[in-house]
């Protein structure tokens, strides 16, 4: 199972109907009645169809765009509440055989310092992240024969077995190049949470231009990665498009097509959707001026439209984006953000920031430490969560359950958020953030009626955490 996977795309045909998507994008909208009907359909807990999502994307009347954003906010409030899940990325290695024109890790980039963590170094990185209070990580790898399924398996196991003080990582997600089914089975057996991979662009002519060589040049091998992952038993997959390569509206519609394909074939869509915008990267002039960069206004509208189009899916916004934009986007339905991130290989445990940049894939715009992010989220009325309850109890597809099962959020998610936030405040928070967090917890508890049996159990579990127990969840 070592080395690169054997690519086999025989008999595969793209399920992205590019001509249909382009055609849908030519229809001008701004039909108030129709836009309102579509928002209502989504608020009624229905996934949208391609023409409906296109109608929202094609709307540019400011008053109607405001209604779309309000719709997204309403959906988030009604179904998911104010929780926001926190994670950190951990870059394992930046060797790569591909030549993606936008990425600093590409093989032809001579300005990048190449580095792969040894298991010992990985352990140090994990200890550092645990000492800050992190419980959920995403491990990120370039595409290289040395980062094969066995290597990924070893790194995931190492993260789970590393414990620092009361800290531990309870969910390890991965972002790694597509494997074959056997490879996916191997990494699943290490206990990964989500398998994340971005198609980058669903537009084939653009895909060919920006992926000139290496395994990644094969569009279909990547497009069917989730099919193979799901065949291998990985239920939670994280989809994404890199915004800036081609028209962002096209990519949003294509992600809906991808979602529908997975629903039809496996009965379940993606666990999360991501839409990173291209950021400047060392030795990478393409990333300074991406041909289709979405403006902030278009980007925010797209986030609100995606929220409405796939109401059951988690949405991730990373520290590529600046603080103010992230705070606004959370209200449109972002459910997960990273915090305290450093994307230099080996950066958490030792590097200075200049050194780190030479090993990084791109530049981050939100450099706040985890503690500050938690403080600010609490101040803004959000509820930071490190919950991994569903995954630990084998409840995969938890985001779908939050959406589909009435009362699920109140019964499981909010209590688990309160328990994990209490752990954080007890073990890691600065006095200032602790005060903000405790006030937030009090406010949340006041919302739960005393007659609710969950409240009694929750209060008992909170007390047990204060007494020193850890990892309690519903």
Residue 59 interacting partner from ligand SF4, ligand SAM, none (CB closer than 5 to 8 Å by kind): none
DSSP-based three-state secondary structure for 440: helix
Which residue from 103, 149, 334, 441 is in contact with ligand SF4, where contact means CB under 6 A?
103
Closest by Cα among 318, 301, 297 to 309? 301
**Which of ligand SAM, ligand SF4, none lies near 106, with the C-beta cut-off 5 to 8 A by kind?**
ligand SF4
Pair type for strands 167-168 and 163-164: antiparallel
Q: Which is nearer to ligand SAM, 331 or 361 (CB)?
A: 361
CA distance 367 to 355: 16
Q: Which does 140 bind (CB under 5 to 8 A by kind): ligand SAM, ligand SF4, none?
A: ligand SAM
Q: Does 102 bind ligand SAM (CB under 6 A)?
A: yes
Q: Which of 76, 171, 185, 216 is close enough to bind ligand SF4 by CB under 6 A?
A: 216
Residues 6+ apart with CB under 8 A from 410: 448, 454
Choose which of 64, 122, 140, 172 interacts with ligand SAM (CB under 6 A).
140
362 sits near ligand SAM (criterion: CB under 6 A): yes
Helices (runs of H) and strands (runs of E) counted in the chain? 21, 11
Instruction: Dig out the tokens for 33 from the structure.
Output: 């009645």
- Nearest by Cα to 469 from 431, 433, 435, 419: 419
Q: How far apart are alpha carbons 360 and 252 in whole angstroms?
A: 27
x-or-dash string of contact with ligand SF4, 125-144, rule CB under 6 A: -----------------xx-
Q: How far apart are CA 456 and CA 139, in angstroms?
A: 37
Contact between 320 and 312 under an 8 Å Cβ cutoff? The reply is no
Work out whether 307 is an interface residue with ligand SAM (CB under 6 A): no
Q: Which stretch binds ligand SAM (CB under 6 A): 11-19, 53-61, 100-108, 434-442?
A: 100-108
100 belongs to the binding site for ligand SF4 (CB under 6 A): yes
- Binding status of residue 175 toward ligand SAM by CB under 6 A: yes
Q: Estimate the share of the chain in helix, then strand, then coil, as percent rounded to the nearest 5.
A: 50, 10, 40
Q: Which of residues 106-125 bind ligand SF4 (CB under 6 A)?
A: 106
SS3 call for 148 = coil
In terms of CB distance, is 25 or 217 closer to ligand SF4? 217
Backbone conformation region of residue 11, classed left if phi is above 0, alpha if psi is from -120 to 50, else beta = left
- Nearer Cβ to ligand SF4 (102/408): 102
Spell out, one character per residue from 317 to 336, where the chain touches ligand SAM: x when CB under 6 A holds, - when not.
---x----------------
- Contact range with ligand SF4 by CB under 6 A, out of 70-78, 94-102, 117-125, 450-458: 94-102
Applying CB under 6 A, does 98 fall inside the site for ligand SF4?
yes
Residue 241 binding target from ligand SF4, ligand SAM, none, CB below 5 to 8 Å by type: none
Q: Where are the beta strands (DSSP E) in 243-335?
A: 272-274, 314-317
> Tokens 């097509």 identify what position?
257
Evaluated on CA atoms 130, 132, 138, 144, the torsion sign reads negative
- The answer to whether 103 contacts ligand SAM (rule: CB under 6 A) is yes
Alpha carbons 150 and 3: distance in angstroms, whole number: 9
Q: Does 242 bind ligand SAM (CB under 6 A)?
A: yes
Q: Does position 80 bind ligand SAM by CB under 6 A?
A: no
Half-sphere exposure of residue 103, counting CA atoms within 13 Å on the CB side? 20
Give SS3 for 13.
coil
Token pair for 75: 């959906």
155 binds ligand SAM, rule: CB under 6 A? no
Task: Give residues 278-307 in contact with ligand SF4 (rule: CB under 6 A).
Answer: none
Which residues of this protein are in contact with ligand SF4, per CB under 6 A? Answer: 96, 98, 100, 103, 105-106, 142-143, 216
Which residues of this protein are in contact with ligand SAM, per CB under 6 A? Answer: 102-103, 105, 140-143, 175-177, 197-198, 200, 242, 276, 278-279, 281, 287, 320, 361-362
């Amino acid at each position: 199972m070592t080395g690169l996977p054997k690519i086999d795309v025989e008999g595969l045909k793209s399920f992205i109907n590019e001509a249909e998507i382009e055609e849908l994008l030519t229809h001008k909208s701004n039909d108030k009645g129709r836009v309102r009907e579509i928002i209502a359909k989504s608020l009624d807990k229905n996934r949208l169809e391609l023409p409906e999502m296109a109608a929202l994307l094609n709307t540019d009347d400011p008053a109607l765009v405001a209604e779309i954003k309000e719709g997204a906010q309403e959906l988030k409030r009604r179904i998911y509440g104010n929780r926001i899940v926190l994670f950190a990325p951990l870059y394992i290695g930046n060797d790569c055989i591909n030549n993606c024109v936008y990425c600093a890790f590409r093989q032809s980039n001579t300005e990048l310092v190449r580095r792969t963590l040894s298991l010992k170094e990985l352990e140090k990185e994990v200890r550092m992240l645990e000492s800050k209070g992190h419980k959920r990580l995403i491990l990120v790898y370039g595409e290289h024969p040395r980062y094969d399924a066995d290597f990924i398996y070893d790194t995931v196991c190492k993260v789970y077995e590393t414990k620092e003080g009361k800290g531990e990582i309870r969910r390890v997600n991965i972002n790694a190049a597509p494997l074959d089914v056997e490879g996916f089975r191997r990494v699943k057996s290490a206990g990964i949470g989500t398998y994340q991979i971005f198609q980058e662009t669903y537009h084939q002519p653009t895909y060919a231009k920006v992926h000139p060589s290496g395994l990644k040049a094969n569009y279909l091998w990547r497009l069917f990665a989730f099919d193979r992952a799901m065949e291998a038993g990985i239920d939670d997959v994280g989809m994404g498009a890199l915004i800036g390569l081609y028209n962002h509206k096209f990519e949003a519609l294509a992600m809906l097509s991808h979602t529908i394909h997975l629903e039809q074939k496996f009965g379940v869509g993606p666990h999360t959707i991501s839409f990173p915008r291209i950021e400047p990267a060392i030795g990478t002039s393409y990333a300074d001026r991406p041909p289709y960069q979405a403006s902030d206004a278009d980007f925010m509208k797209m986030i609100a439209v995606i929220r409405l189009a796939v109401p059951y899916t988690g949405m991730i916004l990373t520290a590529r984006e600046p603080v103010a934009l992230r705070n606004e986007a959370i209200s449109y339905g972002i459910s997960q953000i990273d915090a305290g991130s450093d994307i230099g290989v080996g950066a958490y445990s030792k590097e200075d920031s200049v050194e780190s940049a030479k090993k990084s894939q791109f530049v981050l715009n939100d450099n706040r430490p985890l503690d500050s992010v938690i403080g600010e989220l609490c101040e803004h009325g959000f509820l930071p969560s490190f919950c991994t309850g569903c995954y630990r109890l084998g409840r995969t597809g938890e985001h779908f359950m939050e959406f589909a099962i009435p009362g699920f959020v109140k019964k499981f998610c909010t209590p688990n958020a309160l328990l994990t936030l209490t752990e954080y405040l007890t073990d890691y928070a600065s006095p200032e953030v602790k005060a903000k967090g405790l006030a937030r917890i009090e406010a949340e508890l006041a919302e739960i009626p005393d007659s609710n049996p969950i409240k009694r159990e929750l209060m008992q579990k909170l007390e047990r955490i204060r007494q020193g127990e850890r990892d309690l969840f519903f």
